[in-house]
């Protein structure tokens, strides 16, 4: 009889403990994310693929197409092209093969203008490797559209201003050409047929 009552009490205590857990979570804020309808807030330390930093002052990227990032990348996955626009050099293409990226961060660290950062993008899926190729420039333009900022166009090469071209020093004449101008032609210095190659000295003239 005693053991029977003890079992009932133990069962009742278990029931209360279980209900306590249920009630505690019932009043707590919901943490379940309704993926994919809801988006997670990623930690500041999260590393997604690299992207351009949008400068709030200029409302565009800070890249100067110096190619340091593409040369430093151990996987050689950054495909970058730049064009001269006046005195500046700007990127006209910045594409990454994200499926090759080890997220080492070298490209972000080496950038002299702090133009790169890791995105917080985690919802990446595709059916082929080509789906992992990311156009960083186009992504930046999409971000600008979302923010209502002016969209940075893909730059076209522009010739330098006339004043700059004139200010450039003219190429110096090659030394060989300058020397040639000083030396008389070989035909003029050569002795005529029958003539001595060097003029006769006064002693030689007396002998004759």
Min CB(109)–ligand SF4 separation in Å: 9
The DSSP element (H or E) to which 97 belongs, if any, is strand 88-97
Q: Is 75 near ligand SF4 (CB under 6 A)? A: yes
d(CA 146, CA 45): 24
Which two three-digit tokens encode residue 79? Answer: 């495909």
Is residue 110 within 8 Å of 152, Cβ to Cβ? no
Q: Which is nearer to ligand SF4, 60 or 75 (CB)?
A: 75
Handedness of CA 95, 100, 104, 106 (dihedral sign): negative
Q: Is 50 near ligand SF4 (CB under 6 A)? A: yes
d(CA 73, CA 63): 16
Q: Which stretch binds ligand SF4 (CB under 6 A): 15-23, 66-74, 175-183, 198-206?
A: 66-74
Q: Pick the binder of ligand SF4 from 106, 121, 132, 139 (CB under 6 A).
A: 106
Q: Pick the binder of ligand SF4 from 8, 10, 31, 111 (CB under 6 A).
A: 111
Q: Is 77 near ligand SF4 (CB under 6 A)? A: yes
Which two three-digit tokens encode residue 78? Answer: 């950054």
Binding site for ligand SF4 (CB under 6 A): 50, 63-69, 72-75, 77-78, 80, 96, 101-107, 110-111, 113, 115-116
């Amino acid at each position: 009889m005693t053991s029977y009552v003890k079992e009932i009490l133990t069962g009742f205590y278990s029931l209360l403990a279980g209900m306590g857990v249920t009630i505690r979570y019932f009043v707590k804020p919901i943490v379940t994310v309704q993926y994919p309808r809801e988006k997670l807030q990623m930690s500041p330390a999260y590393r997604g693929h690299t992207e351009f930093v949008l400068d709030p002052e200029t409302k565009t990227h800070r890249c100067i197409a110096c190619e340091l990032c593409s040369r430093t990348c151990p996987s050689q996955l950054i495909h970058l092209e730049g064009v001269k626009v006046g005195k500046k050099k700007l990127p006209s293409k910045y594409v990454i093969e994200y499926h090759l990226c080890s997220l080492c961060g070298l490209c972000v660290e080496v950038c002299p203008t702090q133009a790169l950062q890791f995105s917080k993008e985690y919802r990446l899926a595709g059916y082929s490797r080509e789906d992992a190729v990311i156009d960083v420039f186009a992504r930046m333009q999409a971000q600008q559209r979302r923010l209502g900022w002016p969209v940075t166009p893909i730059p076209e090469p522009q010739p330098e201003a006339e004043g700059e071209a004139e200010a450039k020093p003219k190429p110096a004449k090659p030394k060989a050409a300058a020397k040639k101008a000083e030396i008389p032609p070989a035909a003029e210095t050569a002795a005529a047929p029958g003539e001595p190659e060097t003029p006769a000295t006064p002693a030689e003239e007396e002998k004759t």
